[in-house]
Amino acid sequence: MKGEDLIERVLREGERRADEVEVFYARGESVSTEIKKGIIGTAEESEAWSMAVRTVKDGRIGFSSTGDPDRWKECLDAAFASGGLATSQQWGGFPRPANLTSTASSSDGDLIVAVEDTAGMVADLLSGAAEHPVEVVGGGANLARSYLMVANTSGVLYGMDRTVAAVSLEAIREQSTGYEFDASPFRADIDARSVGEQAASLAARSLSGRDIKTGRYDVVLSPVAAASILGHVLLPALSGRNVKAGRSFLADKIGEQVFDESLSVYDDPFAPGLGSTTWDAEGVPTRRLVFVEQGVLGRFAYDLKTGYRYGEGSTGSAVRSGGEPPGIGMHNLFVDGPRMKEPGDERAVWIHDVVGAHTANPFSGDFSVEISNPFWMEGGDLVEPIRSAMFSGNVFEMLAGIGGLGKDTRRVGRLTIPSIRLNNQQIIGK
Amino acid sequence: MAEVRYYDIRCVRGEVTLVDIDNGVVESAGTSFFDKAVIRVLGSQGWGILTRDHVDIDSKRELNALVEAAARLAAVTQDRLDLADAPRGVLPVPPLGEDPRDIDLEEKTRLLAGIEGAARVPGVGNTRARYTEGIDSVRFLDSSGNEYSYEAVRSGFSVLAIASRNGVMQMGSERDHITTGFNLRGKQDLGRKAGEVAVSLLDAKLPKGGTKRAVLDPELAGVFTHEAVGHASEGDLVREGASVLGGRIGERIGCEGLVIVDDPSLHEFGFMPVDAEGVAVQRTEIIRDGILASYLHNRETLAAVGNGIAGHARSEHGAPPIVRMSNTFIENGDAAYDEILAECRDGILLIGSRGGQVDPGRGVFQFNAEYGYLVEGGETTDMVRDVSLSGEILSTLHNIALVGNDRKMSPGYCGKGGQSVPVSDGAPHLLLENATIGGRGG
């Protein structure tokens, strides 16, 4: 008993002791090959199974999860024990079945989870990297398929397929490194050869960078650098839980012009992407959510628990990771706005990536990070590598007045984002 | 059947208990269960690796089928690996002062609430605390006839306080994790400290970035050790050519007297009784008297690279073992803290850690302090916030001017290759010359 029969059993058994029960079930398979010494070093295959249970009684929410189907009773008992300790809160029930009319494409019917296919992707990565005089020191390819299901005692029973194809490559030339990656639900989106070529090009071109003096410069953040910095600061600030707890810089600013008027930020769960879905991790129908439109803050994201507690209602923004209870997150977040012809003709410091984005202060937005693969950019071209430097700033101030958005929109995890030009930023040379 | 030179299987079955209290509200408190197995087969070239939930390690038939499947995977690999011989043995697990399993969830929740409540000092608007307890039952066996099992118990918490005033928001956070028992009693002081730091940071200045002398406190100096030296000494990165420390054994890379160690046998948060490949664990001196002496290895990187010992393989449950740090530290020197501050004269004192990251191939690292103080004329003056430090692995250790005599270890988690494992880092107070300080003050 591992599938729908077990879900049904847990719901019926749980119902006898609680007002409501919810089961979230996931199973998946994944294969990957990893590059060692410029050839395939390891091949890995994994199968995973997990079940998470939530019980609600008198507004007290209990939770437990298990990776072992034989322990489902223990898991249910643990959920009840957990609910006994949780603080009671306003609760309006798990969602009822909805007529889901939208479609979201998160699965590639043609994707086969086969180790031979990942080996082929690795060969493409390596042939791309071979275009430049570098050593390949890491990377690999991954193909995965999973099936997710949410069911509750109000009658919801939704299931969906997810697929992922991903590649990455790490190259080095002397002490100059380059890393590139891509991931998509669709195998055909992944151009492994180009990813390998880009990583190798970064390593080769960043060699012998010149020092830069401490001072204020115009900066262009590549989509990767922008996603990295924004991901650690902007995303948590849009979570309704952080807003209500007084942990968001954006709290109390609804209706205000918080960012540059050329910036919009929205979650589109129906766009193709790694997080595409028509129902969220609690079975609530998803919708397109515009958080910031032309710089004006419109709304925050909520799950059921935070929504009920503060009378806001869920926005279909629940996500899950690992064996943890659901929390508030984004499905496919877009940072968007009118694009410039180029990321700006004026000379600027172009930054491919940053080291240490997770050390940013998520509440104040202040950060100071080491930059990776920086170049002088002129007329939209990378003309000369810069050796090494730090970049310090504040995410919220930065977004309040940007220099413009580039045309190079790219998907970085669950974020889709173009390069961002920022004027007059603090760079610390060495 | 495809060639099998060696196989091993490692099963970790256990429980995770989490309690999350946010502004006095018990958001969740409960236990979850996992049961993961990783089967590795070394074929004619490299590894074929399988990950499964819920494997019966005692079933010969199940094991044979898994080994066969992993061998088929190994057949696609091309990079020939060999395994070095290594000593076997399992250390006793430290006795538990108080077994967290003997304490009910209600008491854990109440104790955590006490710590969270203590953080709510005047001026603090939000507090959050999280208790994490992990019970791992580990079983291992390999094709060479080695077999072991042990149990690891971890218990600890983190507490966060946020103070705000006129739209300015600042945070203070503390954490403490141990492997030697239950760790929630008598810890309200740490909650209070988180609250007080958050409030005092409201008046702290933004430091000016640039090159200056810096004093690192033991916690931050531990993170410095971990990021600046630890990762780059990992044998897998050295083998792949992804570390600037490759080919530099015997070279002076730091000041005289400097000793940097990784020791999984210490009863700190990175303790393990045996490594994830069944190899006995021992202390490794990475740097001895300023000279690069050893890398950290598992069996395959030792065979390929040499210079060091195996016994540094670790894995998160359900993931294959890779070379990792455990308890990493700089040994005590002889400078007293007052002497270090006096010698710094004008610079910056950096305290606590918000984490760090390294690019070992480029040899560049970054880490962030929780807060700091300007040092003027050998005395600490204004408090500063949001300050980070970056440096280059090959030059930075030469810039250690003084090594203190007050080493302290701090627990944390380290991420590599998508796996997170418990570690501890530590050092005495350090004086660094020519430190690159990142800050956005004018």
Kindly write down the DSSP assignment for every residue of A59-106, as one continuous string: TEEEEEEES-GGGHHHHHHHHHHHHHHSPP-----SPPP---------
The percent of residues in chain A predicted with pLDDT above 70, rounded, is 98
Model confidence at B1, in pLDDT bands (50, 70, 90)?
A: low
Nearest residue on chain A to B393, judged by CA atoms?
A175
Residues 6+ apart with CB under 8 A from B107: none
Beta bridge partners of A20: A56
Cβ–Cβ < 8 Å for A363, A247: yes
Task: Work out the pLDDT band at A57, boundaries 50, 70, 90.
Answer: very high
Whole-angstrom distance, CA of residue B288 vs CA of residue B68: 45
Contacts of A65 in chain B (CB under 8 A): 32-33
Assigned architecture for domain A4-202? 2-Layer Sandwich (3.30)
B49 token code pair: 């690796």
Classify strands B313-314 and B322-323 as parallel, antiparallel or unpaired: antiparallel
CA–CA separation, A334 and A270 (whole Å): 12
Check A45 against B209: CB less than 8 A apart: no
CA A119 – CA A141 distance, rounded (Å): 7
Identify the residue among A31, A51, A87 best suited for mutation to test binding to B, counting B beta carbons within 10 A and taking the highest. A87
**What is the domain range of residue B130?**
6-201
pLDDT at A104 over 90: no
Residue A268, pLDDT > 90, answer yes
Q: How confident is the model at residue B440 (pLDDT cuts 50, 70, 90)?
A: confident
Q: Could A79 and B29 be called an inter-chain contact, meaning their C-beta atoms sit closer than 8 Å?
A: no
pLDDT of residue B61: 95
The pLDDT tens digits for A150-180 are 999 999 999 999 999 999 999 999 999 999 9
Span B126-154, average pLDDT:
97
Q: Under an 8 A CB cutoff, do A45 and B73 touch?
A: yes
* Closest Cα in chain A to B392: A388
Contacts of B106 in chain A (CB under 8 A): 85
Residue A403: the pLDDT is 92
Q: Specify whether B251 is located in the same domain as B332.
A: yes
Distance in Å, alpha carbon of A130 to nearest chain B alpha carbon: 17
Distance CA B285, CA B267 (A): 17
Tens digits of residue pLDDT in A12-42: 999 999 999 999 999 999 999 999 999 999 9
Looking at residue B119, which CATH number applies to its domain?
Answer: 3.30.2290.10
Cα dist from B436 to A370, A390, B100, B176, whole Å: 10, 8, 43, 29
Residue type (1 letter), B183: N
Q: Are residues B194 and B213 in the same domain?
A: no
pLDDT at A388: 87
Q: Is the dihedral of CA B101, B103, B106, B112 positive or negative?
A: negative
Say yes or no for a CB contact (<8 Å) between A175 and B362: yes
Per the structure, how many domains does chain B have? 2
Interchain contact, B388 vs A86, CB within 8 Å: no
Distance CA B215, CA B401 (A): 10
Last residue in a domain, options B201, B218, B239: B201
Round to whole Å and give the CA distance between B131 and B108.
8
Scanning A165-194 for CB atoms below 8 A from B yields: 170, 172, 175-177
Measured CA to CA, the distance from residue A275 to residue A287 in angstroms comes to 13
What pLDDT is recorded for position A341?
Answer: 65
Model confidence at B434: pLDDT above 90:
yes
pLDDT band of residue B398 (cuts 50, 70, 90) is very high
Shortest distance between the Cα of A408 and any Cα of chain B, in A, equals 25
Using the predicted structure, report yes or no on whether residue A261 has a pLDDT greater than 90: yes
Segment A91-112 shows an average pLDDT of 91
Task: Please check whether residues B21 and B110 belong to one and the same domain.
Answer: yes
**pLDDT in the model for residue A251:** 94
Query: What is the amino acid identity at position B299?
Result: R
Closest CA to A185 of A87, A108, A90: A108
Does the pLDDT value for residue B183 go beyond 90? yes
Across the A:B interface, residue pairs with CB atoms under 8 Å apart total 260
* B37 domain-assigned: yes
- Averaged over B137-165, what is the pLDDT? 96
Distance CA B295, CA B314 (A): 15
**Chain B contact probe: residue of A250, A328, A363, A424 with most B CBs at under 10 A:** A363
pLDDT in tens, A210-236: 999 999 999 999 999 999 999 999 999
Using CB atoms, which residue from A82, A119, A368 is nearest to B76?
A: A119
Whether residue B422 sits in one domain with residue B277: yes
Question: Residue B187 and residue B190: Cα distance in Å, rounded?
Answer: 6
CB < 8 Å to A359, chain B: 354-357, 366-368, 388
Report the alpha-carbon distance of residue B210 to residue B11 in Å, rounded. Answer: 49
3-class SS of residue A188: helix
B276 and B146 within one domain: no
Residue B333 is assigned to a structural domain of this protein: yes
As a whole number of angstroms, the distance between CA A330 and CA A348 comes to 32
Helices (H), B180-234: 188-201, 218-225
**Nearest-CA neighbor of B279 among B326, B311, B235, B316?**
B311
Q: pLDDT tens for residues B23-70?
A: 999 999 999 999 999 999 999 999 999 999 989 999 999 999 999 999
Put simply, whether A138 touches B (Cβ < 8 Å) is yes
Query: A286 in contact with B at a CB cutoff of 8 Å?
Result: no
CA distance, residue A207 to nearest chain B CA (Å): 10
Q: Which ranges in B234-297 belong to alpha helices (H)? A: 235-240
Q: Is the ipTM of this complex over 0.85?
A: yes
Asked whether the beta carbons of A51 and A23 are under 8 A apart, the reply is yes
Do B157 and B292 fall within a single domain? Answer: no
Percent of chain A topping pLDDT 90: 91
CA distance, residue B248 to nearest chain A CA (Å): 14
Q: Is there a contact between A352 and A180 (Cβ–Cβ < 8 Å)? A: no
Task: Name, in order, each residue with C-beta under 8 angstroms of A240's C-beta and a sequence gap of 6 or more.
Answer: A300, A301, A302, A303, A306, A307, A310, A312, A315, A317, A328
Longest dimension (CA), chain B: 73
Residues sharing a CB contact under 8 Å with residue A186, sequence separation 6 or more, in sequence order: A108, A111, A163, A165, A272
Q: Which tokens belong to A51?
A: 């079940």
Please name the residues in contact with B361: beta carbons below 8 A apart, sequence gap of 6 or more: A137, A170, A172, A175, A177, B237, B241, B242, B243, B244
For residue A101, name the pLDDT band (cuts at 50, 70, 90).
confident
What does the angle CA A327 – CA A332 – CA A337 come to, to the nearest 5 degrees? Answer: 125
> What is the sign, positive or negative, of the torsion defined by CA atoms of B79, B83, B84, B86?
positive
- Six token digits for residue B152: 């690891």
pLDDT category of residue A342 using cuts at 50, 70 and 90: low
Q: Say what the pLDDT of residue B428 is.
A: 98
Could you tell me the end-to-end alpha-carbon distance of chain B, in angstroms, rounded to an integer?
68
Q: Which residues of A8-38 are buried (b: 16+ CB within 10 A; e: fewer)?
A: eebbeebeeebebbbbbbbbbebbbbbbbbb
The answer to whether residue B260 scores a pLDDT higher than 80 is yes
Contact A66, B33 (CB under 8 A): yes
Q: B201, B220, B243: which is the final residue of a domain?
A: B201
Q: What are phi and psi of B436, to 5 degrees?
A: -90, 110
Is A61 close to B241, i.e. CB distance below 8 A? no
Q: How far is CA A99 from the centre of its chain?
A: 28
Average predicted confidence (pLDDT) for chain B? 95
Of B171, B201, B231, which residue constitutes the final position of a domain?
Answer: B201
**DSSP secondary structure letters along A377-392:** EETTEEEEEB---EEE
A9 and chain B in contact, CB less than 8 A: no
Q: How far apart are CA B150 and CA B14, in angstroms?
A: 12
* pLDDT, mean over chain A: 94
Residue with tokens 């979570």: A239
pLDDT in tens, B405-424: 999 999 999 999 899 999 99
List the structure tokens of B183.
């760790």
**What length is written for chain B?**
442
- Asked whether the beta carbons of B129 and B157 are under 8 A apart, the reply is yes
Per-residue pLDDT, A344: 60
Contact status, residue A50 vs residue A41, Cβ threshold 8 Å: no
pTM of the entire structure? 0.94
Interface test with A, best of B50, B240, B244, B348 (most A CBs within 10 A): B240
Mean pLDDT of B422-437: 96
Q: At A345, is the pLDDT very low, low, confident or very high (cuts 50, 70, 90)?
A: low
Q: Which of B78, B128, B437 shows the shortest C-beta gap to A39?
A: B78
Instruction: Read off the pLDDT band of A184 (50, 70, 90).
Output: very high
Residues B263 and B323 in one domain: yes
Distance from CA of A262 to the nearest CA of B (A): 24
Is pLDDT above 90 for B351? yes
Helix (H) or strand (E) holding A49: strand A39-57
Is 90 exceeded by the pLDDT of residue A394?
yes
E strand or H helix at A11: helix A4-15
How far from B57 is each of A202, B60, B88, CA to CA, in Å? 46, 8, 21
In this predicted structure, the answer to whether residue A301 has a pLDDT above a threshold of 90 is yes
How is chain A split into domains, by residue range? 4-202, 210-430
Q: Is the pLDDT of residue A185 over 90?
A: yes
Percent of chain B with pLDDT over 70: 100
Q: What is the mean pLDDT of residues B168-174?
A: 93
Residue B1 lies in a domain: no
Residues in chain A: 430
Q: How far is A225 from chain B (nearest CA, A)?
A: 15
Q: Which chain B residues contact residue A214 at CB under 8 A?
A: 209-210
How does DSSP classify residue B290? T
In this structure, what token pair is assigned to residue A374? Answer: 């920086």
CA distance B329 to A92: 52
Distances (CA, A) of B406 to A307, B197, B243: 49, 22, 30
